[in-house]
A and B are shown apart, each in its own frame.
Chain A
């Protein structure tokens, strides 16, 4: 990716994603976008806004309403020289494509001893916090993270949304790109085109000395807010934004956790058999001797995602995060 005329702008994550798609399409004619309502409408979240007008029907187009067909067609196009970027309209509506993702997207390189690569991106608006009705708020990352052969990323800032999406489109392997819906409208001053670290690197968003909060996607702003509140109460919390779930940046995470000796994982998904559980397990295995207390999880309850009026009980909030921090055996 070359940095051309850099320009500082305040933009939302939705705008940053749109810009990343536009720049990727301009940079490589093999990049094609398709999915449900991504053409004239620009997607229900407007992430593909204006791209059909700018690049034409052959580069950004609507498909019939069928997610398995969308992902399956992307597999074939990727086999035949294209770099498809497909949009699943909502997290829970990606499930019809699950077989394609697990049996083909994730395995094609391995099944062909590396001869057939699938450079494709599956964009998934995901997770809750937007008052959505059922089937619109799933945190589905564990399904993908559990599937060898996929990369799974989740940005939490507009700048990362841009750089990670560009990296995902450039990647030689399929990437499940999770876009936290509730952060689509969050804004940041961004200099574009931004260049950033590739997929697989976490970042320390806030330095601290007492405990480390590990978060990704929609949970990152919650962790940052909790750290701010804690600072007011005299506790210094460090916040790591994972950005990439697969590959997982053990190095950054472990360095952060060792430096504080205490940690809490914050994630929206139901906790049982979750990415949060994996983070606790692998970090404990690696950092046990530096830990002053077991690593805690603040995750969603193990229930179907609740209706709008009750969703605040499900979402990890600042209080719940701070309660977990309080539980980290401070009086030893």
Chain B
């Protein structure tokens, strides 16, 4: 007999452990993380918000070409990285710079590409963070491959593969989930449903009851979680990582959140959504509710909060300093990394460019 497929279905409502007012929601199916973990997560959230807002400001100052901000989605960013071990892999999108930073990547390096460089800026092997992907959902099959290779060698690696609500419409989302399920690859697919793909609302991406409901079609267990509730994200993603590591196959988590700012600085969100809608989500801010919860429990003092702010300032200052330093790119580097061993054709072209440059230098 087929095992009851209902075990694969997500809960009717997204899991919330700390509600929008910062009060315990009284859910017993998941354990609220302890105060130490939540305090550390609050610190990370505060730094995350500062990074987002600093990067946004740097765009206006012309130091970054573009920045797709995760302002409002910081709890997803922080949780995605915090539930992983150093050996686990993270596959971020263009909106997930903060998650990459929480996993260990230097923020200046993480923003190299968005500064306008041609490469991802960091060594993906150092912190097991894949170069962030721009072609939507194309990184998801890679995540499956990394997980499958680890599994073949008997390594306990889990891979966190991120995408947005719009990305779930792409063919590679489907292929990745299907492959992961068939090979029981230890991948946690985290969909940050922030209601929009640039201007297009969720209703135009999918008619499924929820994006998490897509899991059952692949035989993947899925769950929905309040994407602005740090505690719920840590619990739900942490359990998903544990299940994947224990050999129970891939997991699909849909985090319900909201993109508080425009898609990027180049976008005008007033053309497709109301200010009233944005205001509603302001009341569900992930930082405020975690802070309220921790203050009510008496574990967060003004002094601690000031310490967290100071750390966020330090990181923002590091980012400013790093991005305000101009590094002259070497044009010859354009040829260096195309192949391990340059082809005769590229050597010829590199020589041509170098000749042009030397003539520029002498004229």
A: residues with CB less than 8 A from B are: 32, 58, 63-64, 66, 68-69, 71-82, 84, 96, 99-100, 103-104, 108-117, 148-149, 151, 171-173, 200, 246-251
Contacts and interface: CB of A to CB of B under 8 A. Distances in A.
B337 A72 contact: no
Contact of A69 (B146, B149, B179): B179
Contacts of B345: 246-248, 250
Contacts of B123: 112, 115
A307 B10 CA distance: 50
B144 A79 contact: no
Most B C-beta atoms less than 10 A away, residue of A63, A80, A112, A148: A80
B116 interface: no
Contacts of A58: 152
A1 B153 CA distance: 24
Contacts of A251: 344
B175 A66 contact: yes
Interface in B130-145: 130-131, 135, 138, 140-145
B84 to A, nearest CB: 15
A50 B234 CA distance: 47
B104 interface: no
Chain B: interface residue count, which band? 35 or more
Contact of B149 (A82, A114, A148): A82
25 contacts: A64-B175, A66-B175, A66-B179, A68-B172, A69-B141, A69-B176, A69-B178, A72-B145, A73-B148, A76-B145, A76-B146, A77-B149, A79-B142, A103-B138, A108-B131, A110-B337, A112-B123, A114-B340, A115-B124, A115-B125, A173-B339, A247-B344, A248-B343, A248-B344, A250-B344
B147 interface: yes
Contacts of A112: 119-120, 123-124, 131, 337
A76 B141 contact: yes
A204 B341 CA distance: 24
Contacts of B118: 110-111
B120 A76 contact: no
B321 interface: no
Interface in B308-356: 333, 336-341, 343-345
Contacts of B337: 109-110, 112-114
Given A80-B149, A110-B337, A247-B344, A64 B179 contact: yes
A113 B124 CA distance: 10
Contact of A100 (B120, B141, B149, B343): B141
Contact of B145 (A74, A110, A173): A74
B146 A80 contact: yes
B202 to A, nearest CB: 24
Contacts of A82: 149, 152
B175 A76 contact: no
A264 B120 CA distance: 44
B340 A173 contact: yes
A111 B138 CA distance: 15
B305 to A, nearest CB: 38
Contacts of B182: 63-64
Interface centre among B125, B131, B344 (most CB of A within 10 A): B131
Given A64-B178, A69-B144, A76-B145, 6 more contacts: A58-B152, A80-B149, A112-B119, A116-B124, A148-B338, A200-B343
B138 A104 contact: yes
Q: Which of A77, A117, A171 has the most CB of B within 10 A?
A: A77
A117 B118 CA distance: 16
Interface of B: 118-120, 123-125, 130-131, 135, 138, 140-150, 152-153, 171-172, 175-176, 178-179, 182, 333, 336-341, 343-345
A69 B175 contact: yes
Contacts of B146: 76-77, 79-80
A297 B37 CA distance: 70
B93 to A, nearest CB: 14
A272 to B, nearest CB: 22
Given A100-B141, A104-B138, A72 B175 contact: yes
A104 B143 CA distance: 13
Contacts of B152: 32, 58, 82
A106 B67 CA distance: 26
A135 B255 CA distance: 41
Contacts of A149: 338-339
Top 3 closest pairs, chain A to chain B, by CB: A76-B145, A72-B141, A69-B175
Contacts of A99: 135, 138, 172
A116 B131 contact: yes
B179 A63 contact: yes
Contacts of A248: 343-345
A246 B178 contact: no
A287 to B, nearest CB: 15
Nearest to B133: A104
Contacts of A250: 344-345
B236 to A, nearest CB: 24
Nearest to B175: A69
A110 B178 contact: no
Contacts of B142: 72-73, 75-76, 79, 104
Nearest to A249: B344
Nearest to A250: B344
B243 to A, nearest CB: 20
A74 B125 CA distance: 17
Nearest to B342: A247
A73 B145 contact: yes
Nearest to B134: A103
A71 B140 CA distance: 12
Nearest to A67: B175
B124 A79 contact: yes
Contacts of A200: 343-344
A104 B130 CA distance: 12
A29 B120 CA distance: 30
Max chain B Cβ within 10 angstroms of own Cβ: one of A76, A103, A104: A76
A248 B346 CA distance: 11
A148 B124 CA distance: 22
B339 A111 contact: no
Contact of A72 (B124, B130, B150, B172): B172
B144 A73 contact: yes
Contacts of A151: 339
